[in-house]
Structure 1
Amino acid sequence: MSVMNTHPFSMENPKFKQHLVVTTRQHCYVMLKTNNSLDELSCSIVPIKQSMSARNCPEEVWEEMQSIKADLRRGFGGLGKGVLFLETASRGYRGWANVEVIPVEMDVEMDAPLYFKQALDQADEEWSVHKKVIDTSQKGLRRSIPDNMPYFFIEWSRGGMAHIIEDAEQFPHDFGSDIVAGMIGVDPVRVKKQGGAKGAEQARVAELKGLLRE
């Protein structure tokens, strides 16, 4: 079967969880993150058509992602919260770009550069060819790393940093969310199975819709 019919992020998948969709725009949708989430309003920004990473999305998809990020920052800002955007992009035909959105307290967002720089300095092989921490604050993600490279990316309100993944088997997929979990003093997401009843999930979707002013 094709990826479009079987991938959990594909809207053409008969088992796609439509009730978790917060908003659908021309090129992307926002979906509530249920299992392994750090906050009840954690969500993901996902392109409707398959792309391996946000870095490699077509320009119009990229621009819409940035617009959604701005809307989410504004919405969570109204609650007195900051937002961290995380992406782990890997190779493989089943790859599908998705940017995890984690609302956090403002002081946590302010501390993110220090925590993530320290963690990325220790990540991957000691013999890494590429620079371990790539500051994307000035040039942005797309002009900071090469095309078609697996990477990890963290973004906050005034900047971000990336790390080129040289060995996907050694780099944990939950790397970013585990760092955030440590920052806010909770268990890592891999042992945090939230989920919940469909009604409770729909209530969280409705709250996110309100933040996005849908």
Structure 2
Amino acid sequence: MTRDRQTTTTEDGSERDSLMNLLGGRTSAIDASLPPVVFVLGWYLGDESIGLGSGLAVAVSAIIAVWRLARGARPGAVLVSLLAVLLGAVIALRTGDAVDFFLVRVVTNAASALAWVVSIVVRWPFLGIVLGTVLGQGRRWRRDPDLLRAYNRASWVWVCQYLVRLVVFIPLWLAGLVIPLAIAQVVLTWPLVAVCVAVSWWVLRRALPDDHPGLRHPRTPAPPPGPG
């Protein structure tokens, strides 16, 4: 029994780590927080020069992209992060307002919240898709009513994560507060994701019945008997 509990604990830790890496690990947090901080530093120290801040942010983002690719990161995720910084820089340069560098962050968080809600409504929760892929289950998790319900409930925690960012980002953006936006970006990246992973994992485990064999073992209904 003790061995079984130790094995389960180890598996849970491995799954939590996989979830953290896929949905916002430490390296992803660097992508999200360092370029905005560099942009604000360049803008502030350069006598509110959007050009200097944008150039530094793009350069740092490119360096991070090369570093992440060398460490085996997914090229698609790296490219998206780099493009987000480039787009933010272009928007700020076009509007002439440094605060618009963060507009991309506002839009992407709103879009992410909507996408997660839609995934829950159509009963294809993103949390299930991610963990099902990590565990090599294909679509089997979705044929387990208990797992599907648990993934649906836990996915709402991720919706709340994006909404928290929007509640903070939008007023700061509307008020034109550049430095507080950079601070909020840092605080609401890695720390918030860590909390979100912990809470969603707790919800996921609590939502499963006591007799459920666990995430790695979906209980799928037996196929109907053939004609006989």
Q: TM-score, normalised by structure 2?
A: 0.29
**Greater strand fraction, Structure 1 or Structure 2:** 1
